[in-house]
Amino acid sequence: MEIGLLYSRIRRDEKLLLSELRDRDHDVHKIDVRKERFGIHDPPEPFVGLDLLFDRCISTSRSLYVTKFCAAYDLPVVNGPVTAETCADKVKNSLALAEAGVPTPKTEVAFTKEAALESIESFGYPCVIKPVIGSWGRLMAKIDTRTAAEAILEHKATLGHYEHKVFYIQEFVEKPGRDIRVVAADGEPIAAMVRSSDHWLTNAAKGATTAPFEPDDRARELVATASEAVGGGLLGIDLMETGDDYTVHEVNHTVEFKALDDTTDVDVPAAVVDWLETVVAEDRTIGAEAK
Amino acid sequence: MSTADCIECGAEVSLHDDLEIGEILDCMTCGAELEVVDVSPPVLEQAPELEEDWGE
């Protein structure tokens, strides 16, 4: 197949994908989106004539627009713009999960410091405040006291981009020192791992240690439902164990998998390319239409 | 294994064989993050700063 890999930075994840695609003799077109110009009618020349465009943009804003343009040009892209839009924004992500009946941490959104403080006080301490757009655990805060809450809100309101004035506040989930990352295609797990840390943040990007994890039936059910809720495609679904169940706190649409590939026996890039081949063979578009 | 010059400090940066345009390398001498902008011959430029919207 002829596949266009949309990127602005080649991470180890993209290198693994490129290697797998080339090993299978696919014709890979690397497209650096920083160099392209997007008209409202006609696609950039490198986008034309490909079987599939694969969004691997590290920049969320670029990912959102480039997938939107691909859909407008009627070009096949994974993941599609609806999936990207739903996953990129934590508010939309939470709403989609809740609407689908997926257990997800209790969350409130407020637009002023005063209303945000009321949310924080109603959750009690500790609770968590997160940026609505962001990744790798950056700018997340566990709030232990009212004075800390006041300081964080003041900083966000004064120093932040307007998105930081959308206060996304969440209950603190007492997880057992670890969370679970499942990489799934069309809701079917490719591989999974637990990420453990003494720190409350257990992102691999924050240095958490990882170990393979075998999802049970309930985790599989939640992964499938969460995937469908956000528009489907190739996703990184994060769960926390809550004793007798799980809670899904996040779904990522340009999922990184190098840590998972290192941790498990599964050849993750091979499985991803298997899925891409299936998408092309079935002429499917993922997450392009509003639910 | 080939080499290229660090744009920040001029030191020699070792390049692995499967170099990709768009890849980021670290200069082991000055610690600068460098982006591969060409592979034949290899050319390195200063990598973009981390942006707030980067992630997965």
**pLDDT tens, residue by residue, A237-270:** 999 999 999 999 999 999 999 999 999 999 999 9
Residue A136: CATH number of its domain? 3.30.1490.20
Considering the domain architecture, whether residues A188 and A240 belong to the same structural domain is answered as: yes
Predicted confidence at residue B9, as pLDDT, reads 96
Please report residues of A whose CB lies closer than 8 A to that of B21. Answer: 10, 30, 32
ipTM: 0.90
Token reading at A172: 């603190």
pLDDT more than 70, % of chain B:
100
Considering the domain architecture, whether residues A253 and A215 belong to the same structural domain is answered as: yes
Instruction: Choose one of A171, A190, A223: the last residue of a domain.
Output: A171
3-state DSSP assignment of residue A48: coil
* CB pair distance less than 8 Å for A134 and B55: yes
Task: Kindly state whether residue A188 falls inside one of the protein's structural domains.
Answer: yes
Task: Kindly state whether residue A257 falls inside one of the protein's structural domains.
Answer: yes
Q: Which of B22, B48, B56 is nearest residue A135 as measured by Cβ atoms?
A: B56
* CB pair distance less than 8 Å for A134 and B20: no
Among all residues of chain B, which has the CA nearest to that of A234? B56
Considering the domain architecture, whether residues A141 and A210 belong to the same structural domain is answered as: no
Domain span including residue B20: 2-46
Q: Indicate whether A38 pLDDT > 50.
A: yes
Considering the domain architecture, whether residues A180 and A134 belong to the same structural domain is answered as: no
* CB pair distance less than 8 Å for A10 and B22: yes
Considering the domain architecture, whether residues A227 and A158 belong to the same structural domain is answered as: no
Is the Cβ of A79 closer than 8 Å to some Cβ of chain B? no
Task: Kindly state whether residue A251 falls inside one of the protein's structural domains.
Answer: yes
Among all residues of chain B, which has the CA nearest to that of A164? B52
- CA dihedral (A158, A161, A163, A166) in degrees, to 10, reads 0
Q: In this predicted model, which residue has the larger pLDDT, A44 or A287?
A: A44
Residue type present at position A85? E
Predicted confidence at residue A291, as pLDDT, reads 46
- If one counts the domains in chain A, the total is 2
Predicted confidence at residue A206, as pLDDT, reads 80
Cβ pairs A/B, distance under 8 A: 59
Residue B22: CATH number of its domain? 2.20.28.160
How far is A129 from A107, CA to CA, in rounded Å? 10
Task: Kindly state whether residue A276 falls inside one of the protein's structural domains.
Answer: no
Domain span including residue A158: 107-171
Task: Kindly state whether residue A250 falls inside one of the protein's structural domains.
Answer: yes
What is the pLDDT of chain A when averaged over all its residues?
Answer: 95
Q: How far is CA B31 from CA A36, A112, B28, B48, in A?
A: 30, 41, 6, 14
Q: Are A29 and A4 in contact (CB under 8 A)?
A: yes
Q: Which residues of chain B have pLDDT under 50?
A: none
How far is B25 from A129, CA to CA, in rounded Å? 33
Radius of gyration of chain B (CA): 11
Q: Are A54 and A276 in contact (CB under 8 A)?
A: yes
How far is A286 from A78, CA to CA, in rounded Å? 6
Residue A204: CATH number of its domain? 3.30.470.20
Considering the domain architecture, whether residues A149 and A206 belong to the same structural domain is answered as: no
Predicted confidence at residue A125, as pLDDT, reads 98
Q: Which of A32, A61, A256 is nearest residue B56 as measured by Cβ atoms?
A: A256
Q: Are A169 and A128 in contact (CB under 8 A)?
A: yes
Q: At what angle do helices A12-23 and A268-281 cross, to 10 degrees?
A: 60
Single pTM value for the model: 0.94
Q: Are A153 and A147 in contact (CB under 8 A)?
A: no
Q: Indicate whether A207 pLDDT > 70.
A: yes
Residue type present at position B54? W
**pLDDT tens, residue by residue, A70-87:** 999 999 999 999 999 999
Task: Kindly state whether residue B56 falls inside one of the protein's structural domains.
Answer: no
